[in-house]
Amino acid sequence: MTAPVRPPESLTEPPTPLTYPGSSSTAEVPTSLASGLTCEVCGAAGPLEVAAACGQCLGALDVAYDLGPLVGSDPVALLGRRPRTLWRFRELLPPIDRAVEEGLAVESSPLRRARRLGELLGLDDLWIKDDSVLPSGSFKDRPASVAVATGLGRGFTAFGCASTGNLAAATARSAARVGSPCLTVVPRGLPAAKLAPARRYGARIVEVRGTYDDANRIASLVGERLPIGFVNVTLRPYYAEGSKTVLLEVLEQLSWTPPEAVIVPLGSGALLAATARAERQVTSLGWLDRSPGGGLRLIGSQPEGCTPIVDAFHRGADRTEPVQTPTTIAESLAIGDPASGPAALRAIRRSGGVADAPSAGEVTDAIRAACHREGLWVEPAGGTVIATARRLRASGVLSRSDRVVLFLTGAGWKVPDVGIEAESSLPSLVLDPRRFDADEIARWLNGRDDAPGEARAW
Amino acid sequence: MVTVTLGSVLRQAALGVDLRRFAEFEGTVGEFLTQISVVGGPRFRQLLFDGDQLRGVLAVYVDGVDIRYAGGAATPVTRDSRIDLIPAVAGGAGF
């Protein structure tokens, strides 16, 4: 493996040539329209480089684009023959080495009509964007892939992250794909199944006796000492861009006609903020086929026990008040001090959306409903989103005919025990094969009168 | 001895500033930050303060505890304290 390289720190230092392990190519994909970094707080502009914070005010940095060459283009003609991976949107992503594309490709996830779940929720045009099928089991494959691809081009040969579990798996997988070592920093006590993928992909894991915010601080400080590209710290501006591809795929899958609403889980708020950026960009390109007055409402969902963004939304505040010790069953959303909270709040309000916080019971009911009605086992973050759809339909915020897309961002197998109590109350029938009696099974099946939730009658 | 860790942007702004002179500091973290901002120069001060207020995007930890969960600017600093100053870009944001 190549010796570690200290990343450039100077705001004026030119980026190092793009390189990729095992490849002699240093050519950047010429079609990225990224033009630099801008500060989301003070607006200061700078070149594309390794910088997580603004040198003028410490604000977070976003990737800026010069979309001029694409304005008025036809997305169908532009994208038509490209492979169905996130790189099909390369104009709207940071520049990467073309040699990285195949190794760090993340295939598009399905957008499915959810008729049976829609019946339950009272939504006739309900759709599910199912990122649980992505390789590491969550949407985090998208930002991790973009961050690692960009980091390779900026001289990093080792990667890391602070994580509540999903990003650990995604970063470890991307690092494995390019032969780089990976260090993940997580709060101690995550479910074993949540950390298993990162271990399997070969990551070294630091467990912090504290919260995600503690893990995040430690990752930030380690990133100051070691030449590790922490995807959601050191490489955060680029990392965040990968999350735009969720909505970009949805819009393409809906033939560029936006739905009335998307419901997005809120952890750091970065996914919702990226969703808003993606919508602004394709709007400016003229790619959307909108009905007059039709707007895409961005709805954020955060679980009871960790609701800093939802609380700020209902207070009318621009900033969040941190939750020191989150207590929620949706540990992937247990970020008490969300860095992109202000950006998410702005995006929700601009779109005419709302923020909602279902209870733990509503979340587990929603997980069960998705299992029983769609055959889809989602993690609690997904249950949070489904529960919000149910609540907002019941309160009239959503109409029966609204086209609503749920961002279901992670797989349930990572958190196998959440909400399992109801299923555990349906014990298996244990049979003695020497005294097998089919009637006994029939009696047992028909005796499930106390079956909770969505259990079917035989 | 008070030890200070600065994020890279702050470190660049504080180039040439010898923070070891504050090794024997005792007082509040607010006083500490005010003092180092004076010797650190205008750009360093600009990164720490917005007017008289600590910047909302600056995360300040004393002995590993976010000062928002301790005493804010009045959080005590002793000679054995460790102070971390990092941009709150991926977690803690806002005071």
For residue range A127-165, list pLDDT tens digits in order.
Answer: 999 999 999 999 999 999 999 999 999 999 999 999 989
Is A454 within a domain? no
Residue B29 per-residue DSSP state: H
CA distance B26 to chain A (A): 24
Calculate the average pLDDT of chain A.
88
Phi-psi region of B39 (alpha: psi -120 to 50; beta: other; left: phi over 0): alpha
Statement to judge: residues A170 and A82 lie in one domain: yes
Give pLDDT, residue A452.
42
Task: Please tell me which of the candidates B9, B89, B92 has its beta carbon nearest to residue A236.
Answer: B89
Give pLDDT, residue B88.
83
Q: Do A268 and B91 touch (CB under 8 A)?
A: yes
CA distance A193 to chain B (A): 24
Q: Do A216 and B91 touch (CB under 8 A)?
A: yes
Determine the average pLDDT of the residues in A440-453: 67
Is A6 within a domain? no
Statement to judge: residues A126 and A46 lie in one domain: no
Residue B51: partners with Cβ closer than 8 Å, 6 or more residues away: none
pLDDT-derived band at A8, boundaries 50, 70, 90: very low
Chain B contact for A363 (CB, 8 A cutoff) = no
ipTM: 0.88
Choosing from A240, A272, A288, the residue where a domain stops is: A240
- Chain B residues near residue A42 by CB distance under 8 angstroms: none
Chain A contact for B16 (CB, 8 A cutoff) = no
Is A347 within a domain? yes
Calculate the average pLDDT of chain B.
86
A71-125 pLDDT per residue, tens: 999 999 999 889 999 999 999 999 998 888 889 999 999 999 999 999 999 999 9
Is residue B93's pLDDT more than 50?
no
In contact, A66 and A33? CB cutoff 8 Å:
yes
Mutate to test the interface with B, among A49, A212, A220, A306 (most CBs of B within 10 A): A220
Give pLDDT, residue A166.
94
Statement to judge: residues A180 and A318 lie in one domain: no
Q: Which range is least confidently modeled, A210-214, A218-222, A235-239, A344-348?
A: A210-214
Give pLDDT, residue A212.
87
Statement to judge: residues A369 and A271 lie in one domain: yes
pLDDT-derived band at A458, boundaries 50, 70, 90: low
Residue A217: partners with Cβ closer than 8 Å, 6 or more residues away: B59, B61, B64, B66, B84, B86, B91, B92
Choosing from A240, A272, A292, the residue where a domain stops is: A240
Determine the average pLDDT of the residues in B47-54: 90
Is A428 within a domain? no
| CATH code, A218 | 3.40.50.1100
Host domain of residue A266: 111-137+242-414
Q: What percent of chain B clears pLDDT 70, i.e. is strictly above it?
A: 93
For the sheet with B58-62, list strands across it: B3-6, B82-87, B58-62, B65-66
Task: Please tell me which of the candidates A41, A220, A322 has its beta carbon nearest to residue B90.
Answer: A220
Coil, helix or strand at residue A371: helix
Statement to judge: residues A144 and A120 lie in one domain: no
Question: What are the helix (H) ranges across B41-87?
Answer: 42-48
User: What single-letter amino acid sits at A288?
Assistant: L
Chain A contact for B82 (CB, 8 A cutoff) = no
Statement to judge: residues A217 and A261 lie in one domain: no
Q: What distance in Å separates the CA atoms of residue A19 and residue A47, rounded to the nearest whole number?
A: 19
Give pLDDT, residue A292.
66
In contact, B57 and B93? CB cutoff 8 Å:
yes
Statement to judge: residues A246 and A182 lie in one domain: no
- Chain B residues near residue A319 by CB distance under 8 angstroms: 56, 93-94
Determine the average pLDDT of the residues in A209-230: 91
Residue A191 per-residue DSSP state: -
Is A198 within a domain? yes
Coil, helix or strand at residue A405: strand
Is residue A59's pLDDT more than 80?
yes
CA distance A355 to chain B (A): 19
Is A4 within a domain? no
Nearest CA to A63 out of A275, A272, A236 is that of A236
Give pLDDT, residue A422.
67
A271-295 pLDDT per residue, tens: 999 999 999 999 999 999 887 667 8
Statement to judge: residues A51 and A78 lie in one domain: yes
Half-sphere exposure at residue A57, Cβ-oriented, CA atoms within 13 angstroms? 18
Statement to judge: residues A397 and A309 lie in one domain: yes
Statement to judge: residues A169 and A257 lie in one domain: no
A362-415 pLDDT per residue, tens: 999 999 999 999 999 999 999 999 999 999 999 999 999 999 999 999 999 988
CA distance A157 to chain B (A): 19
- Chain A residues near residue B11 by CB distance under 8 angstroms: 224
Residues 260-299 of A with CB under 8 A from B: 268
Determine the average pLDDT of the residues in A308-334: 92
A453 vs B18, residue with greater confidence: B18
Is A14 within a domain? no
Choosing from A200, A219, A240, the residue where a domain stops is: A240
Is residue A453's pLDDT more than 60?
no
In contact, A37 and A46? CB cutoff 8 Å:
yes
Could you tell me how many CB contacts below 8 A there are between chain A and chain B?
A: 107
Statement to judge: residues A410 and A282 lie in one domain: yes
Statement to judge: residues A322 and A361 lie in one domain: yes
- CATH code of domain B3-87: 3.10.20.30
A9 vs B39, residue with greater confidence: B39
Q: What does DSSP say about strands A125-130 and A403-408: parallel, antiparallel, or unpaired?
A: parallel
Give the total number of structural domains in chain A.
Answer: 2
